Each structure stands twice: as structure tokens, then as C-alpha cells.
Structure 1
């Protein structure tokens, strides 16, 4: 990880060194290129003219550098967040494979059966993946809203958001604006799903198997 960070900043370091060298050598280069007999005072007048012309270019370059640093900071935050979510996903999957590990997590706010707790854990993984895709810009808001609306037509999905929403809201309060907006998108998905009608119970998801 340390080597990756050094490589990320290496182009900026090389650019800074090159700019410093150019600044130091510029007077000698002007003296060498100037016509024979031209004095330093005359060179200074020429350099002042070019300095005035370079101000807008320097400003534009500075804006570009600042914007690039902002983008890099955002990408680094997203990468760290993705890494954290990947680690959390592995822990949840371990708990799903071994039900005894579910009691190592925080107890449910309301009485919940063992099977329903596993279903909640899986739903949490679904919403976590949607959140990452929304934050990264991979999935637009309209698609996220539509997916949440369909998910909450199911009994477990609607029940999950009603009983676990407070945890998502508390987490988003410590994050950025898009995190808080994701919670509002899920709130709107729940509202629209309730307008669609009653929930679909798990036993009505699939048609009965036909016996041979």
C-alpha cells in the first residue's frame, strides 16, 4: 500500500522538481537566446511582458492541479470504503455459513427468529452493494430507486428497511451528502412500494413444484 501511494505522488514530485529547475535556469536560457549585446535590463522588460501573459495560464494550471487533487482524494476515499465493505461482507458471509456466529453481531432491536436474522443479513449485503454502486456513479439514482421499490414489495425487504433503517441513517450521518441521500432514496422506495399494495410473503414468491 505504501509503494502504491508513493507511485501516485511520483508524477507530482517529478513535476515540482522540473518546475524548480526551469525557474532557476530560465534567466540563463534567456541570456543565451538573446541577441548579442542585449543587456539584462532589456531582458527584464521582455520577461515582464511574458510574465503578464502567463498569469492566466498559471491560474488555469493551478485550478487543474487543485481539481486533480480533489478527484484523487475522492477516489482514495471510495477505494478505502470499498475495501472496508469487502471486509464486512466476508464477515457477514461467514455468519451466514455458520449460524452460531450470528450472535457475535449486535442483537436485533426487535425479537427476530434465527432464519429471519440471516435473511436480514443478506438483505443488508444487497443494499450495501447498491450503495457502493450509487456512490461510485455506476448506478444512477432512478435505477437505485426502482430497484429499492421492487425489493420492498417483498415482505422481508419492506420489514427490513422499517426495522433497520435507523442504523443506516445513523451511519450516513457520519458520511457524506450522497450517503444521506441514499437513505432518502430508500425511504422513497418504501413509500412507493407501499402505494403498490400489500407485500408478497416468502411462500408466494414461487409457484408450487409439480409432482411427477
Structure 2
């Protein structure tokens, strides 16, 4: 759903930028070619003083057309800058994801790339890293406009229902705050909203219980019974 929405949004921006850019080029061409057209069409005996008065009467129209043309060019440039930034951020996220995948596959690499702030079991450290990656994915979507503040708040409420997510923010929240506060406005809005929803989740009560696979309610009863017998054996 998010991918389709992002594609539709980019398509709309492309069409708008092309339309305004084309309109701007047409208007600029008309304005620049006006003296030559008048010189070609006007008879030799034409009263150029009178023609000058007429052209001045249309000066306001020329200003409006020029403003529209410049607006079209500016919109096109703005879109290009935004697309370049989005592409660069996506490339960084892809590189980060590849590093995380490599680290999660090897405990030695995990300690080398992302050592824990405090002693923690290896399994929990991996879980914290995955939770941090989930927050990074929300940050990326918020930066490029796929998530509004309201939608981000809903996502964060679900995120902090879990115990591991709360642990991760308790341990790594200060580092996130230092990094995000040094960023742009959207980064600061993001980290402050994360803090707000984390505090709200803690105030709402204990985190949701983690169920073992054999105890999951969506698993058939027969399989849960087999899993329980296997554990008891």
C-alpha cells in the first residue's frame, strides 16, 4: 500500500513538474519572440510610438506571464532536488540494511559493528538491533512524506506495545536524541514524537506479553499440544 501510494505521488509530481516546466518554456518563448514578430508583421509606415504605447499597456500581462514561467521552472527544480534527496536517503538505508543483515548473521560482526551500550545477552542485542531498524524505517518514511505526524503516532503506539521496543528506546534513546536534534526539522519532530509516544505507552501500563510460538492463539490447538508435549519431554 505504501509503495503504491508513493509511486502515485511521484507520478503526480512528475506530471505537474513537466506541465509547469513546459508552460514556462512556452511563455518565455512567446515573450522573447514578441519584438521579432512585431518587426516582421508591422508595415514600414507603422507608428512605432503608438505601438510602444500599446505594448506598455500589456506590460502587466507580461509580468504575470513571466512570474508563471518562473514558478514553473522553480517547481521543476524543487521536484528534482526532492527526488535527488529521496534517492540518496534510500541508498543510505539500503547500505545500512545490508550492514545490519551481515552483522545479524555473525555474532562476531555484530559486536564489531554495533556493540551494546551495556552488557546484554546476544539474543536480546539482536532483537534491539531489529527494533532500531524498524524505527529507522519509520524515520525514512516520515522524511519523504509517506507518513504524516498523525499516522506516525499510530505506528509508534503499536511499536511501543512490545517489551523489546521499550527496552531498546530506554537503552538507545539518548543516542537517537543527540543525532536527531542535530538534524533538520523533520528529524527533530520525529524524535520528539517517539519520546512522547514512548512515555504514553509506559504510562498506559505494562508491555504486551510475549508468547512462545507453541502458545500463540493463531496456531492450531493440535500443534500447540504437540509443542507443549515436546517441551515437557
Correspondent of 2:122 among 106, 114, 122: 114
Corresponding residue number in structure 1 for 2:90? 82
**Contact 1:145–1:189 (Cα < 8 Å) also in 2:** yes
**Contact 1:145–1:188 (Cα < 8 Å) also in 2:** no
Distance across 2 between alignment mates of 1:123 and 1:20 = 55
Secondary structure of 1:193's counterpart equals helix
Corresponding residue number in structure 2 for 1:43? 51
Distance across 2 between alignment mates of 1:101 and 1:210 = 38
Say whether 1:148 aligns with 2:148.
Answer: no
**Contact 1:123–1:160 (Cα < 8 Å) also in 2:** yes
Give the length in aligned residue pairs. 202
Structure 2 unaligned regions, length at least 5? 1-16, 217-223
CA RMSD of aligned residues (A): 3.1
Write the deviation string for residues 179-211 of structure 1: whole angstroms up to 9, x where unpaired. 111111211221121122112354568726322
TM-score (norm 2): 0.73
Corresponding residue number in structure 2 for 1:207? 215
Structure 1 unaligned regions, length at least 5? 1-7
Deviation at 1:19, TM superposition (A): 4.2
Say whether 1:196 aligns with 2:211.
Answer: no
**Contact 2:27–2:66 (Cα < 8 Å) also in 1:** no
**Contact 1:30–1:43 (Cα < 8 Å) also in 2:** no
Secondary structure of 2:50's counterpart equals helix
TM-score (norm 1): 0.80
Secondary structure of 1:107's counterpart equals coil
Write the deviation string for residues 27-67 of structure 1: whole angstroms up to 9, x where unpaired. 22102222552143333223222223211232233234334
Mean Cα deviation higher: 66-75 or 92-101? 66-75
Distance across 2 between alignment mates of 1:142 and 1:52 = 44
